[in-house]
Structure 1
Amino acid sequence: MNYQTYIPHFDLQSLVKCFWTLEVPAESNSEKQRIVPDGCIEMAFILGDNIKRFTSETDFIIQPRAMVLGQTIEPFYIQPVGYVNTFAIRFYPYGFANFVNTPIKNLANKETPIAELFGQSTANELEQAIIHETGTQERIKVIEKFLLNKLRDKATIDNIVKSTIDTLLSTNGSMPIHTILKENLSKRRQLERNFLKHIGISPKQLGKVIRLQTALKLLLNQKTETFTQIAYESEYYDQNHFIKDFKEFTGTTPKYFLADDTLALSSLFYGKD
């Protein structure tokens, strides 16, 4: 697998976490790969062969070739049918809401073709521009121009949502929402509504996903020796709390995570900053 990340234009760095590319040679018997939540929204362009996204043990859909993957709160499986060549944009949790009018909650747990978000004509033009460019830097210029033009048409995101996410990110998801809002019940209700509108999941769910990502990096980079240490450094209450959340979002336990071949792609994505 060849996975690369790229820093976005300065004017996009508060909204776009990175651009990334993935190339994997075609295999005759490719394995399913389990993808775990990371709290971000992705816009992806499939430039190689099709990719299956499983909706059950045996049923699947073919992912749209130009799509947005909304917030996910449970793991899912994908499987390439041949050569993998993907160019994608990873947005911060609050980032993508700045570019669309569609409520972000409508995008959760599914792939949405970009034509449904930007209109057929605009989507076709963008997709063809991405396809016809032959290098990553050229594709980045295309998408950056598109996003910067969109950004000039949109108002800034709600300050309550952004400041809450900033706090969750800075504390690795460990600070309770009531602490962030200082027990202000009316503000908490407003936050819940705005989170669903702009982020697609609740602030509590986002905090859990962010904290899990902190633990995953420690696990994948082998910076700690025991699960108890990982739980402590990721600010879980205890090891049982860590394992419970880990299983909820990955579908397996930390013990089996590293040895699971279906998690090779997730390990590649989330083990790298």
Structure 2
Amino acid sequence: MANNFYYKFIKPDSALSDFVESIGMFHNQSAEEKAVVVMPDGRVDLFFSQSASEPFHVTLIGLETLPEQRSILPHTLAFVISFKPLAVEYILSTSIADLLNTAKDVAPDFWGFNTDDLKDFDVFYQKAARKITELLPDEIDERKRTLFELIYSSNGQMSVTELSQKVCWSSRQINRYFNQQLGLSLKAYCTILRFRASLEHIAQGQLFPELKFTDQTHFIKEIKKFSGAAPKELSKNKNDRFVLLSVLKQQ
């Protein structure tokens, strides 16, 4: 947290962990815009927000593959549910292939939320958790559950061939699923998760590759591709521009 910018993210109960990574909030309490860099993190975000100049609205943000400079408006309060990709099919019941590196507004009364729900984060958290619990599927394709478990547990470092063999699902079918549901290939998604895991290391001051990179040059190149900055600059995180990195430092 820095100055007038506050954020908080907590993990859900284990019953929701296949579908939800975290439920959180941020509040720009300043009368000035807050400059941030949004980096790919492999999550699908559902924002409930309002500011001094914008009414309550709900926004669904697809996966990102590139860093983006954004400004958070003055006096913006936002609560966010960060979903894992499995939730796209089973909780949100929609494809987000057309939302790659973009977003769309959804109905302002989505899931029965309204501006009053931004008054208390704990109350919001409980309401969101109840709603998602209601939407949990009776059955799930175990190949998909196992696939995402392996992707996450390996930090995106398992090859497409190895993943395909372990879940008994052809790489062609897996890539079709990824492209239809998420808008990118399995390999592209795994690369994003490896970057995300590298951020956790950078947050702890480890500026050399801890994962399967060819060498230091490859590591730096990939970090720059997804963040727009070298590992050393990221680690300094001046003015908390890289909010994701700030959150990882708290964990």
TM (normalized to structure 2)? 0.85
Contact 1:105–1:196, Cα closer than 8 Å, also in 2: yes
Aligned equivalent of 1:58: none
Q: What residue identity is the alignment partner of 1:267?
A: L
> How has the CA–CA distance of structure 1 residues 82 and 127 changed in structure 2, closer, same or farther, with 3 Å as cutoff?
same
Partners of 1:179 and 1:87 in 2: CA distance:
37
Aligned equivalent of 2:128: 143
Partners of 1:83 and 1:146 in 2: CA distance:
28
Structure 1 segment 68-147 matched on structure 2, within 5 A: 68-115=60-107, 123=110, 126-128=112-114, 131-132=116-117, 134-147=119-132
Partners of 1:244 and 1:197 in 2: CA distance:
29
Q: Which has the larger displacement, 63-72 or 36-45?
A: 63-72
Q: What residue identity is the alignment partner of 2:245?
A: S
Establish whether residue 65 from structure 1 lines up as the match of residue 69 from structure 2.
no
Establish whether residue 190 from structure 1 lines up as the match of residue 170 from structure 2.
no
- Equivalent of residue 163 in structure 2, options 157, 170, 180: 180
Contact 1:217–1:272, Cα closer than 8 Å, also in 2: no
Partners of 1:13 and 1:259 in 2: CA distance:
31
> How has the CA–CA distance of structure 1 residues 171 and 109 changed in structure 2, closer, same or farther, with 3 Å as cutoff?
same
Partners of 1:151 and 1:184 in 2: CA distance:
22
Contact 2:143–2:167, Cα closer than 8 Å, also in 1: no
> How has the CA–CA distance of structure 1 residues 206 and 50 changed in structure 2, closer, same or farther, with 3 Å as cutoff?
farther
Q: What residue identity is the alignment partner of 1:91?
A: F
Q: Which has the larger displacement, 5-14 or 176-185?
A: 176-185
Establish whether residue 11 from structure 1 lines up as the match of residue 15 from structure 2.
yes
Partners of 2:117 and 2:171 in 1: CA distance:
47
TM (normalized to structure 1)? 0.79
Deviation at 1:114, TM superposition (A): 2.4
Q: What residue identity is the alignment partner of 1:236?
A: F
Contact 1:178–1:184, Cα closer than 8 Å, also in 2: no
Partners of 1:193 and 1:107 in 2: CA distance:
17
Secondary structure at the aligned position of 1:19 is classed as strand
Partners of 1:165 and 1:86 in 2: CA distance:
28
**CA RMSD across the alignment:** 2.8
Establish whether residue 250 from structure 1 lines up as the match of residue 227 from structure 2.
yes
Count of residues in correspondence between the two structures: 246
Deviation per CA, 1:49-94, whole angstroms, max 9, x where unpaired? 458xxxxxxxxxxx98211111110111221221131111111232
- Percent identical among aligned pairs is 19
Q: What residue identity is the alignment partner of 1:44?
A: F
Secondary structure at the aligned position of 2:201 is classed as helix
Deviation at 1:160, TM superposition (A): 3.2
Establish whether residue 219 from structure 1 lines up as the match of residue 202 from structure 2.
yes
Stretches of structure 2 that go unaligned for 5 or more consecutive residues are none
Q: Which has the larger displacement, 66-75 or 253-262?
A: 253-262
Establish whether residue 237 from structure 1 lines up as the match of residue 214 from structure 2.
yes
Aligned equivalent of 1:55: none
Aligned equivalent of 1:21: 25
- Equivalent of residue 42 in structure 1, options 33, 39, 45: 45
> How has the CA–CA distance of structure 1 residues 256 and 161 changed in structure 2, closer, same or farther, with 3 Å as cutoff?
same
Partners of 1:112 and 1:100 in 2: CA distance:
14
> How has the CA–CA distance of structure 1 residues 211 and 64 changed in structure 2, closer, same or farther, with 3 Å as cutoff?
farther
Partners of 1:216 and 1:243 in 2: CA distance:
12
- Equivalent of residue 160 in structure 1, options 133, 138, 143: 143
Deviation at 1:100, TM superposition (A): 2.9
> How has the CA–CA distance of structure 1 residues 168 and 10 changed in structure 2, closer, same or farther, with 3 Å as cutoff?
closer
Partners of 1:148 and 1:254 in 2: CA distance:
39
Partners of 1:15 and 1:81 in 2: CA distance:
29
Deviation at 1:31, TM superposition (A): 4.5
